[in-house]
Chains A and B, each alone.
Chain A
Amino acid sequence: MEELANLFHGFAVVLQPFNILVMVIGILLGVIIGVLPGLGGANGVAILLPLTFSMSPTSAIIMLSCIYWGALFGGAITSVLFNIPGEPWSVATTFDGYPMAQQGKAGEALTAAFTSSFVGALFAVIMITLVAPLVAKFALEFGPAEKFGVYFLAFCSFVGMSKEPPAKTVASMMIGFALGAVGLDQMTGQLRLTFGITELLIGFDFLIAVIGLFGIGEILLTMEEGLSFKGRSAMINLRVVIQTWKELPRYWMTSLRSCLIGCWMGVTPAGATPASFMSYGIAKRVSKRGHNFGNGEIEGVVAPETAAHAAGTSALLPMLALGVPGSPTAAVLLGGLLIWGLQPGPMLFIEQKDFVWGLIASMYLGNVVGLIIVLTCVPLFAAILRIPFSIIAPIILVLCAIGAYSVHNSTFDVVMMLVFGVAGYLLKKCNYPLAPLVLAIVLGDKAEESFRQSLLASQGSLSIFWSNGLVGTIMALGLIALFWPMIQAGWSMLMPVKKGTRQE
């Protein structure tokens, strides 16, 4: 067990007082970064990177990865309290987290989100510790066709699960695909749908769409409904943490499934966003209480958060082992590695043992420290909802505007955010679900890219999606997920329904 010995050596490195101090500072900075929408983990790490140049590489990477953990934790806070996902992978958390907050259960939702994040991340770190070389090899199996399979699976496990009519879901998704197609076409190098407007050259950034659709849209809705936040009765003491913890072990099955989905998505560079959507979609299908998802089910918070963090954590593995970042934040961390003269890649595990195992040890400790910090702050966060709407709404608006501006340092984006806000309000009024739109903006162009890369490679033959066991299995799973309602219906026709298992 050479790995274990290395890991304990890593713990010894991390447990120096200076490194622990660095860790706590990193987590706190990260939470603040995560709370501000738009100023995501990637930007935050990029801004704070120069701070670390005076430290040793190990202390520096501990600080940066702790900012990363902090940002991952922090992203859940605005999703639950204000329906504003600060990061792409927090979108699925809003589906049940925000309704819970509206019912006065913000404390429970936050506790569930933080705890699930911790579980997901811990699972992924353990996986990295034990099977790192094996997993890195698995990641190499993923060519364009396999990548498309993964995106296909993400879409399929999500389609047909919303309460709205399927036609509206499809319409919403199509709008998302159209928006996602704006900008440069990676495959041909041509501009699409820009109508000669240079600002559209870069396409619609996901964050601007989300801040507008969810954040501004929600404020408009609240204004219409009488200018006050629901859920002001949220419990604001630490007992809520203990009570929620008692409830959480019931969802061990969901947690485990979400961990596995997350690790898989994180290692194959698909990332945390498909992981969170896929995990939410599957939990809704499989769970006994699935029909109530979207109305404030705690399980609907557990599933996406666990998967997102398992993915976010395991995304660091391909970065270290292959030099390919699995997420934007990982990409900035990669930049940090290079500045310290560390070349990521297969040799890093051999040449820089201290560094790699110090980092892995800091993942364990950073998550523990992070969990303690954010959990003690739960009552504080929940108390934010007691501030009168007339005070908090302008603050949110300003934060949203800053967030939208900071994505590309462009005022055009702030205008776009407001347009998205009005659009979001109208779509909600007409009962069009927003989630499929968002999913399509985030993953649409990536799915298209892998699809066209695959077809280029196969010279136009669709058989490439069944050309080996791996891609075939993923595609088959996707089709099963897509037709699950019919499969279920067919199954129950063949088998006599057991009493009490179905409530509808």
Chain B
Amino acid sequence: MKRSSKHFLLGAVAAISAATYFMPTPATAAWEPTRPVEFIIPAGTGGGADQMARTIQGIVTKHNLMKQPMVVINKSGGAGGEGFLDVKGSKGNPHKIIITLSNLFTTPMATGIPFNWKDLTPVAMLALDEFNLWVNTDKPFKTAKEFIDAAKTANGTFKMAGTGSKQEDQIITEAIQKATGAKFIYIPERGGGAVAVQLVGNHVESTVNNPIEAVAHWKGGKLRPLCFFDSKRVTYKEVVAEGKSWADIPTCKEQGLDIVYLMLRGIFMSPGATKEQVDFYVGLFRKVRDTPEWKKLMEDGAFNTTFMTGDAFTKWVAAEEKRHEELMKAAGFMAK
């Protein structure tokens, strides 16, 4: 079977190179996809990464940004390990890209699967996703301070729901416990949507959902964001709910909870990609970022719209990996 797949690969490579060879080459000699592009999501349906990837697919299709179709595939098994290993194993296939969340770092650290982000080819940082501290509007908490004080008084009975185990939500929860001394019972759920609904149903006291995951419930008057885990306020001024805009929500730091955590929404592609191939996708995502649909998504989800490519992006990811390693070690989440 190995042999036949090798043959197939060789054949495919030959076909592609032949196709590119015979294609009328424009002056720039740019590379373009010759087959449908698989867009892997290392997370389940309905979560933040899924929403973003499906929006991108819609934008690419609607504005005809690519001649070949883009196919979105969820590979969420093993906390996203399924998706990462799939792309890692597609060396030399330029028709496979993947969107990341923090599990790019946390999954290999917590499970010990043979994967590191250096196995992939970095393409671009699309945005950084914010995190909020959310509470139910039935509860009296109006500020992060009130909430943390109540959590301390409750003496370890407050429950915090989050996505997955030993991933970003639990890392933030650990950080809150360390910074304040308040203790929480962390309850892992499968996805960000389910986490928000547990809070709406008052089964837990708080969550650290991404803005986009819970904004509908804020608009519906059920949930309330207390603060952003960022170093400065976001700049979206349009009123969302309760007469407030995202810009009116303070940072947690302003409220005495000095924790900053942002999550990478970046694009990587399979190993062994050439510069022309990376350049194509960088160009594609630049065009995506210029569309009104993308701008609306950024505003709805209060995203930090930093864009990075090339060496700057690679350096940023390396620093972020180191930070996660420290956070995971401190929390005792590393695989033995």
How many residues of A are counted as interface, with CB atoms below 8 angstroms from the partner's CB atoms?
51
Known A46-B72, A201-B77, A324-B193: A457·B187 in contact at CB below 8 Å: yes
Distance A184 CA – B300 CA, assembled complex (angstroms): 32
Whether, in the assembled complex, A347 has its beta carbon less than 8 Å from a beta carbon of chain B, the answer is yes
Whether, in the assembled complex, B45 has its beta carbon less than 8 Å from a beta carbon of chain A, the answer is yes
Distance A186 CA – B170 CA, assembled complex (angstroms): 13
A334/B69 in contact, CB under 8 A: no
CB proximity of A360 to chain B, nearest CB, Å: 19
Known A53-B62, A343-B216, A453-B188: A201·B113 in contact at CB below 8 Å: yes
Distance A181 CA – B113 CA, assembled complex (angstroms): 18
- Name the A residues within 8 Å of B50 (CB-CB): 335
Chain A 155-192: CB-based contact to B (< 8 A → 1; otherwise 0): 00000000000000000000000000001111111110
B57/A339 in contact, CB under 8 A: yes
Binds B, one of A96-104, A106-114, A137-145, A495-503: A137-145
B197/A322 in contact, CB under 8 A: yes
Distance A323 CA – B200 CA, assembled complex (angstroms): 12
- Name the A residues within 8 Å of B143 (CB-CB): none
B215/A343 in contact, CB under 8 A: yes
Q: Total A-B residue pairs with C-beta atoms closer than 8 Å?
A: 145
Whether, in the assembled complex, A411 has its beta carbon less than 8 Å from a beta carbon of chain B, the answer is yes
Known A189-B79, A345-B220, A346-B217: A323·B196 in contact at CB below 8 Å: yes
B217/A345 in contact, CB under 8 A: yes
Distance A448 CA – B179 CA, assembled complex (angstroms): 32
Whether, in the assembled complex, B311 has its beta carbon less than 8 Å from a beta carbon of chain A, the answer is no
A346/B201 in contact, CB under 8 A: no
- Name the B residues within 8 Å of A348 (CB-CB): 216
Chain B 271-310: CB-based contact to A (< 8 A → 1; otherwise 0): 0000000000000000000000100100010000000000
CB proximity of A140 to chain B, nearest CB, Å: 4
- Name the A residues within 8 Å of B188 (CB-CB): 186-187, 189, 453
Known A325-B193, A331-B45, A338-B54: A408·B216 in contact at CB below 8 Å: no
* Chain B residue nearest in CB terms to A143: B203
Known A50-B69, A331-B45, A335-B45: A140·B217 in contact at CB below 8 Å: no
Interfacial residues of chain B within 126-158, with CB under 8 A of chain A in the complex: none
Chain A 46-74: CB-based contact to B (< 8 A → 1; otherwise 0): 11001001000000000000000000000
CB proximity of B77 to chain A, nearest CB, Å: 3
Distance A144 CA – B293 CA, assembled complex (angstroms): 36
A347/B216 in contact, CB under 8 A: yes
- Name the B residues within 8 Å of A334 (CB-CB): 45-46
* Chain A residue nearest in CB terms to B110: A189
Whether, in the assembled complex, B1 has its beta carbon less than 8 Å from a beta carbon of chain A, the answer is yes
Pick the contact of B200: A50, A140, A331 (CB < 8 A): A140
Known A189-B167, A459-B185: A343·B198 in contact at CB below 8 Å: no
B61/A53 in contact, CB under 8 A: yes
Interfacial residues of chain A within 126-142, with CB under 8 A of chain B in the complex: 140-142
- Name the B residues within 8 Å of A46 (CB-CB): 72
Whether, in the assembled complex, A202 has its beta carbon less than 8 Å from a beta carbon of chain B, the answer is yes
Chain B 119-131: CB-based contact to A (< 8 A → 1; otherwise 0): 0000000000000
A456/B78 in contact, CB under 8 A: no
Whether, in the assembled complex, B55 has its beta carbon less than 8 Å from a beta carbon of chain A, the answer is yes
- Name the A residues within 8 Å of B198 (CB-CB): 143
Known A143-B203, A183-B77, A341-B296: A346·B55 in contact at CB below 8 Å: no
Pick the contact of A346: B45, B113, B189, B219 (CB < 8 A): B219
- Name the A residues within 8 Å of B166 (CB-CB): 188-189
Distance A485 CA – B1 CA, assembled complex (angstroms): 53
CB proximity of A450 to chain B, nearest CB, Å: 10
Distance A347 CA – B214 CA, assembled complex (angstroms): 12
Distance A323 CA – B220 CA, assembled complex (angstroms): 12
Distance A290 CA – B296 CA, assembled complex (angstroms): 57
Interfacial residues of chain B within 188-221, with CB under 8 A of chain A in the complex: 188-190, 193-194, 196-198, 200-201, 203-204, 215-217, 219-221
Interface centre among A47, A338, A341, A408 (most CB of B within 10 A): A338
B111/A325 in contact, CB under 8 A: no
Chain A 352-369: CB-based contact to B (< 8 A → 1; otherwise 0): 000000000000000000
Binding site for B on A (CB under 8 A): 46-47, 50, 53, 140-144, 183-191, 198, 201-203, 269, 322-325, 328, 331-332, 334-336, 338-341, 343-348, 408-409, 411, 449, 453, 456-457, 459
20 pairs, A vs B, C-beta closer than 8 Å: A143-B203, A184-B77, A184-B111, A187-B165, A198-B113, A202-B78, A323-B46, A323-B216, A324-B46, A328-B45, A335-B45, A338-B55, A340-B58, A344-B216, A345-B217, A348-B216, A408-B82, A456-B186, A457-B203, A457-B204
In order of increasing CB-CB distance, the 3 nearest A-B pairs are A202-B77, A345-B216, A346-B220
